[in-house]
Structures are given as structure tokens and as C-alpha cells.
Chains A and B, each alone.
Chain A
Amino acid sequence: MPSLKDLRNRIASVKATQKITKAMQMVAAAKLRRAQTAVEAARPYAERMEAVLANLASRMTVKEGAPRLLAGTGRDQTHLLIVCTAERGLCGAFNSSIARLARDRATALMAQGKTVKILCVGKKGYDALRRQFKDQIVDLIELRSVRQIGFENADAVGRKVLQMFDAGEFDVATLFYSKFKSVISQVPTAQQIIPAQFDGEAKEAAGLDAVYDYEPGEEEILAALLPRNVSVQIFRALLENGASEQGARMTAMDNATRNAGEMIRKQTLTYNRTRQAMITKELIEIISGAEAL
């Protein structure tokens, strides 16, 4: 049985941990607010971009010689999985659920005999995947030193992906990240970015039968827009991820704080019981000693 001193120490240590988790929760809440504003501010650009592209694409698909970023290379042998995760842990299942989605996809693709390459953005995804996919991981991009993700960060990733695509290193690129739905709900998502895909909604919104003039020309514009779209999609994914991470951390730390409280309550009870038992024992010893005299 642990002594009273042991119990006291244990309670003190749980209390210290609880203070840390509580602080982390509050920090996450403050950061979440900032991350959420960033996501909302970036949304109009990505939406317009998608609408414009969908509009252009709906005219282009039939034509021969459409840009490869839109039409694909005509093969789907080599897949690039861009796995975006956080740089830090202690945020519940956030990192592991993204990693799991990517892992399932990679395993499924490999079972079909496809070649898989993995590009990790964020250290935690790399840590989770490197054991199983040591040979598939081509690179790791760390954003640890970045405090607030700017477009330049996403653009750097985007340029790297495009460079690989131009060098013919892959045929299909899929982006893995966590979509921010609410503080308690983040949905791990896989989104194909090369060749570009548009959902029906964006197409309908852009499906105006207006006759467009193009300056300088349709192809030039599409050729300039498509690479940019890759960066924009990555930027959006990173921002969504940022908000999701803070949301997940907030919930995780809230749970941790509550669990610590529960633990303290239980241990305080044991502590008090032990203390009382010891007093009773001592009393009995004194009384029986006195009776013996």
C-alpha cells in the first residue's frame, strides 16, 4: 500500500499536469480563432478560382491537346500522395486519422500494382508513415518555423509538386488533409489535385453560357491558371488543417483536463481514507496499550 507521502506526491503531479493541459487548451482556443479567420478570409479566392477554372475546363475537355494538368498524362500508374499534417502532437486523433486515410489509400493502390510516392508536409505525418512506407516517402517539408501560414509557404510546396509533375515523376496527385467542420468535428479528406477535378456544384455555378473573350488566349490563361490552382488548393488545405489541428487540440486538452480532475478526485479520496485508517490504527494501539497496563 502506498504511504501517505506517495499519495500526496501523486496528487501534486496530476495537479501540475492538469495545469499544463488547461493552459494548452486555452492557447489552442485562442489560436483556433485566428486560424478560423484565416480560413474564412482565404475562402473567396479559392471559390472564385474554382468557378473560373471549372468554367474554362468545361470548354476545354473535349479538345485535343488540353493541358496535362487538366487532362492528366493519360496514365494512372504513379500516384503522389501529399500528406498534410501538423508539426506537433497532443491533438487527439488529428494526425493519426489523416495518416490512416493516407495509409489505407497507399496500401490499396499498391495492392493494385501502382507505384506510390508520398510527400509529407508536416513532421507528424512523416513520423506515422515512415516505418511502413520508408521507400515510398520522397520528401518531408517541415513548416515548424512558420507561425502563420502564408501563401508563400503553400506556393513553395506547390512549385515542388509541379516540378515533379513536369519531370514526369507521377501521374496523379492526391492531397490529404483534415477539413474543418466545427471545433468538435474534423473530417480527414482526400482531394485529387492533378489532374484537376471539379465538383458539379462549381461547374453549375460557372455554367453560364456567356461568350467569353480571352486576353491573351484561352490556352495561355488556362496554362497560367492551372499551376496556380495547385498552390491555391494546397494553401486551402494547409489553412483548413491549421484550424482543424487547433480544434482537435482544444477538445483533446479539454478531455485531458477533465480526466485529470477525475483522477485527482479519486486519489484525494484514497488519501483521506488512508489517513483516517492510520489515525484509527494509532488510536487502537494507544488504547490497547493503556488497557494492558
Chain B
Amino acid sequence: MATFTFELVSPERLLFSGEVESVVVPSSEGEMTVMAGHSPVMAVLKPGVVAVSEGKGAVRRLFVRGGFADVGPAGLTILAEQALPLEELDAEMLAQHIRDAEEDVADARTDEARQAAAERLAQLNELRSALVH
């Protein structure tokens, strides 16, 4: 199967870089799978799980807390606000994110900001229910 270059970077470090077969990206409009030869797309991400297939059935799963995905001729680049391997994410950390999001909702001064924060909270809650099963 054709492969393409995938890079996952967070502000602090480069988390993943290499040739992959497909990547499932949690875009804000819904999940999308990127494969080799995908048309150029620029998408905003919601908090969720990036699933990377490196071929031979091996799947790496990484948690991202929002960010951007950029699909170009050179491959896929994800600029994540924060990212870490799913194994390192525990319930406590997720709960902390949710608490933060709840505070943001409470602190928001404008309607717009409140709506954005509420959306975020909903996405996080959705993610938690998806992970705990």
C-alpha cells in the first residue's frame, strides 16, 4: 500500500515523524481518514485520538488536545496544542482537562467565548465516554 509522510508536532517536541499508510484525524467537522494522495486540506482539530496505521496492522494511538491538520503534497502535518501517546493519558489528566474546560465556561465573558468553551467541554466529555468502555 502507498505510504506518505506524517508528522505530529506539539509546541514542545516532535512526537511522530515517518512513513505511514493512513491516519485518522479528529477534525472539528468529524473524523477523517487521510491516506496517500489525499487532496490538500487544512482542518481544525477537536480534542480526540489520532490513530496512525504504520502498515502490517500496527496502529499507534495518540491523544491530541485540539490543533490543526495540514494535508499537502508533502504529506500530513498535525500541529497539536498538546499531544501525548494514549497510553500516557490517564483518567486523572482527562478529568483535569474537563475541569479546566468547565472553568473556562464559567469564566467566559462574551457569548462567543462561552460558546467556544462549551463546545470544547462537550467534545472532551464525548471523548471520555468514548475512552471509558
**Chain A contacts of B41 at CB under 8 A?**
212-215
**Chain B contacts of A154 at CB under 8 A?**
11
A49 at the interface (CB under 8 A from B): yes
Give Cα A214 to B42, complex, Å: 5
A150 contacts B40, C-beta separation under 8 Å: no
Give Cα A235 to B29, complex, Å: 29
A211 at the interface (CB under 8 A from B): yes
A213 contacts B39, C-beta separation under 8 Å: yes
B122 at the interface (CB under 8 A from A): no
Give Cα A56 to B68, complex, Å: 13
Within residues 63 to 122 of chain B, which ones have a CB less than 8 A from any CB in chain A?
68, 70, 72-73, 77, 79, 81-82
Give Cα A220 to B45, complex, Å: 12
**Chain A contacts of B9 at CB under 8 A?**
44-45, 48
**Chain A contacts of B56 at CB under 8 A?**
none
B70 contacts A48, C-beta separation under 8 Å: yes
Q: Per a CB cutoff under 8 Å, which of A44, A49, A210 touches B14?
A: A44
Question: What 0/1 readout, one digit per residue, does chain B (35-46) give for beta carbons within 8 Å of chain A?
Answer: 000011111100
B28 at the interface (CB under 8 A from A): yes
**Chain B contacts of A211 at CB under 8 A?**
39-40
**Chain A contacts of B82 at CB under 8 A?**
151
B3 CB to closest chain A CB, in angstroms?
20
B39 CB to closest chain A CB, in angstroms?
6
B12 contacts A42, C-beta separation under 8 Å: yes
B13 at the interface (CB under 8 A from A): yes
A108 at the interface (CB under 8 A from B): no
A232 contacts B11, C-beta separation under 8 Å: yes
Give Cα A12 to B27, complex, Å: 67
Interface secondary structure of A, over-half rule: helix
Q: Per a CB cutoff under 8 Å, which of B13, B28, B70, B72 touches A216?
A: B28
B11 contacts A52, C-beta separation under 8 Å: no
A225 at the interface (CB under 8 A from B): yes
Give Cα A232 to B41, complex, Å: 22
A53 CB to closest chain B CB, in angstroms?
10
Q: Per a CB cutoff under 8 Å, which of B7, B11, B40, B81 touches A213?
A: B40
B10 at the interface (CB under 8 A from A): yes
Q: Per a CB cutoff under 8 Å, which of B12, B42, B77 touches A212?
A: B42
B89 CB to closest chain A CB, in angstroms?
17
B131 CB to closest chain A CB, in angstroms?
24
Give Cα A220 to B44, complex, Å: 9
A27 at the interface (CB under 8 A from B): no
Q: Per a CB cutoff under 8 Å, which of B12, B42, B79 touches A48?
A: B79
A4 at the interface (CB under 8 A from B): no
Nearest chain A residue, comparing its CB with the CB of B82: A151
**Chain A contacts of B13 at CB under 8 A?**
41-42
B11 contacts A215, C-beta separation under 8 Å: no
B86 CB to closest chain A CB, in angstroms?
20
A167 at the interface (CB under 8 A from B): no
Nearest chain A residue, comparing its CB with the CB of B10: A45
A215 contacts B14, C-beta separation under 8 Å: no
Pairs A–B under 8 Å by Cβ, sample size 12: A38-B12, A41-B12, A45-B14, A45-B79, A208-B73, A211-B39, A212-B41, A212-B42, A214-B41, A214-B42, A215-B29, A215-B44
Q: A41-B14, A210-B72, A215-B29 are in contact. List 19 more A-B contacts (CB 8 A).
A: A38-B12, A44-B14, A45-B12, A48-B9, A48-B77, A49-B79, A52-B77, A210-B40, A210-B73, A211-B40, A212-B40, A212-B42, A213-B39, A214-B42, A215-B28, A221-B42, A221-B43, A224-B68, A232-B11
CB within 8 Å of B: which residues of A?
38, 41-42, 44-46, 48-49, 52, 56, 150-151, 154, 208, 210-216, 220-221, 224-225, 228, 232, 235
